[in-house]
Structure formats: structure tokens, C-alpha cells
Amino acid sequence: MTDLTVNANHAAEHDDEEHHDYAGDAMFGFWIYIMSDCMLFATLFASYAVLSSSFAGGLTPLDLFDLKFVFVETALLLFSSFTFGMAMLMAKKQDIKKLMLWLGITFLLGGGFLGMELYEFYHFSHEGATPQTSAYWSAFYALLATHGLHVFIGMLWMIILVVHILKNGLTEVNNTRLWCLSLFWHFLDIIWICVFSIVYLFGVMQ
């Protein structure tokens, strides 16, 4: 075996190690980020729990919450997890056209959810429940707005990733990014289930 062959094999092995390290390091780093986000939301939920009865004699959840409206919000976000799952299946099959279709549907569902949440904020504020109204509403807006901001960031990330995939295809790097975004999106669904249960369902039971 010549030196040239040995060097070529060594370079190929080095490239494989770099690719492997990128995917592994990226996923490891992203899990650390998800854990830090868990701590952030745990703090917000704890603050909400402590302030859940501090209405300052003003409006309460019973006065404003509409569970039918929130159920539609929840359905949109949960169904977006299904459509993202379909996108991941298309990515595994290297079917970029159908991957784009399912990501587009996911984006629209996320946008519908975000639009409904913003309308709800507007409606509550118009009725007199603003972050300044009481400690309860401060905690409510802090928790839901933080989750909504995450959804918005996820949608921006989706747009950027689509541009990269259309430009470079489903490379290993883009596949890793897609997996990270999928994890992030499903994480937001789990957080919303907690919001729906703790904030809305318990809120109307007070």
C-alpha cells in the first residue's frame, strides 16, 4: 500500500470522525439546551402556582377563559407534532418534496396557534386583564408569552432550515438540524399540555 493510499484512507477516516462528532456534539449540546429550557419553564410554572390566587379583587380565569377556544389552540399545536413526524419520515426517505409539504403544514398550524394566542391576549387585555392588573395575570402572561415566543422562534428556525435544505439538500448537517428542530417542536407541545392542564383546566375549577 502506497503512502498516497494510506493518506487517502486516513483523510476519509478523519472526515467520518468529524461528521460523527458534529452530529453527536450537536445533539448533546441541544439536549443541554432543552434541560435549561425545562428549568426556565419550571420556574415560570412555580411562579404561576404561587400567584394563582392573587387576583387583587379583579378578573379571574372564570371570567375570561373559554375552553372551547383553547381546545382548538391545543388541537392545532398537537396536530402540528403529527405533521412534523410525517416530515421526519419523508426526510428518512430522502423525499424532499413531501418533506417541504409536511413542514409547510406544520408551519401553518404553528402560525394558527400563535395567531389564536395573540388574539386571546388582545381579548383579555381589552376586557381589563393586563399584566399590570394583578399578580395572577402577570404570571399568566409571562408563562404563555414565553411559550409563544418559543413557538415563534421554532417557526423562524423552520424557515431558515427549509432554505438550507433547498440549497444543499438533506446533508448530514441538515438532517441533524432537522432532528434538533423536531425535538424542540415536540418539547413545546409537552409544555403546552402542561399549560392547558395547569392554567386553563385548573383555572376554571377555582
Q: What local confidence, expressed as pLDDT, does residue 11 receive?
A: 44
Region 99-111: mean pLDDT is 97
Residues 74 and 196: beta-carbon distance below 8 Å: yes
Q: Identify the CA nearest to 147 among candidates 73, 65, 54, 50.
A: 73
Q: What local confidence, expressed as pLDDT, does residue 7 receive?
A: 45
Domain boundaries, the chain: 33-205
* DSSP type of residue 152: H
- C-alpha triplet 185, 34, 163: angle, nearest 5°: 45
According to CATH, the topology of domain 33-205 is Four Helix Bundle (Hemerythrin (Met), subunit A) (1.20.120)
Q: What local confidence, expressed as pLDDT, does residue 26 receive?
A: 78
> CA–CA separation, 92 vs 168, rounded Å?
16
Q: Comparing 46-50, 83-87, 183-187, 200-204, which segment has the lowest mean pLDDT?
A: 200-204
Torsion from C-alpha of 26, 30, 31, 34, nearest 10 degrees = 180
Region 77-93: mean pLDDT is 96
Convert the pLDDT of each residue in 20-72 to its tens digit.
Answer: 556 677 788 889 999 999 999 999 999 999 999 999 888 999 999 999 999 99
Q: What local confidence, expressed as pLDDT, does residue 21 receive?
A: 59
Torsion from C-alpha of 188, 194, 195, 201, nearest 10 degrees = 150
Strongest mean pLDDT among 8-17, 96-105, 168-177: 96-105
Convert the pLDDT of each residue in 111-132 to its tens digit.
Answer: 999 999 999 999 999 999 999 9
Letter string b/e over residues 31-69, b meaning 16 or more CB atoms within 10 A of that residue's CB: eeeeeebeeebeebbeebeebbeebeeebbbeebbeeee
Distances 106 to 72, 80, 97, 159, 197 between C-alpha atoms, Å: 15, 5, 14, 11, 23
Convert the pLDDT of each residue in 159-197 to its tens digit.
Answer: 999 999 999 999 999 999 999 999 999 999 999 999 999
Q: Decide which of 68 and 3 is more confident.
A: 68
Q: What local confidence, expressed as pLDDT, does residue 97 receive?
A: 95
Per-residue confidence at 13, pLDDT binned at 50, 70, 90?
Answer: very low
